[in-house]
Chains A and B, each alone.
Chain A
Amino acid sequence: MDMQLKRGLLDVCVLAAIQHEDSYGYQIIKDMHPFVEISESTLYPILRRLEAAHLLDVYTREYNGRLRKYYHITEAGQARLATFAEEWREIISIYQFVTRGGSAQ
């Protein structure tokens, strides 16, 4: 897959992982695992990018005697997800058209 495309898609995936509920790094990787494999080193720049773009917020909570960073999706992040869904609805219907063979030759 085109690297640029994949990067953009992974950004949205991470947002989707936290869209209903705040989550933390490793949990995000586990949630995404059945659908797409992502490594810790790939996730790190994505989280930094999303934070810089104000699509998510970061806060720290104590857990089992250590500190853990949690990620919370912002309004802007939710809007980004909605835009993505809208764009891909159209792509999916095009895909369905293409793979059904379209009109008879």
Chain B
Amino acid sequence: MKTKIKNKINFEKLSYYNLKFVLYTTPIAIITVVLSIYIYKTFGDKNADGVIFDILGIHFILWFLSLILLVSSLTLLKNFREKILCKLIKSEERDERETYIAGKASKSTLLASIAFLVLLFILSITTIRIEAPTDAARNAGKKGYVSIGFSTSLIKNSMIQKIVQKNEPDSKDYKFIIHYNGVPLSQSALILLIMIFYISVYHFYKWQYQKKG
């Protein structure tokens, strides 16, 4: 048991050293990226040669692996996560009252976030199509249509998506007026939006409860 705790503490220390390495060498990683983009644009597909570029390349690999290790530590180590993320989102609890307020704000944030995620989920599975026929199609007797529904699939390019795509009317005869097919954000943009939402809502509720006393 004592050895387990000792190992856990050492891994936390390692995580702190890793964090410092990532923070202090991030400017070098950024320079490496900028330099490689510049070289690619200027010299095309030619790879950069030389000792300096080799060192920068090796450093970038090490930095990238350290970053993966860092985010894994944040996920797995509770104490490390609390210390780092509390500093990052500026959540301080200097005494019992601030701890109490942080607790209330966390509960309110959790509930608001669940509601927001439900809204995002509904928006992501909703499909709305309003299409009007072209002049030629109208003359041929075709009518416009409004289609509202839900369409979702846990895996991309699944059978359901193929069926939906197969059953869509021929777009040659229709011009679309509204065509909504889920939230128009990429995966990473969506995740970023959710993170920003969590942090802002938490600070909003914390400010509100602090104002009340």
Q: Do A and B bind each other?
A: no
Binding site for B on A (CB under 8 A): none
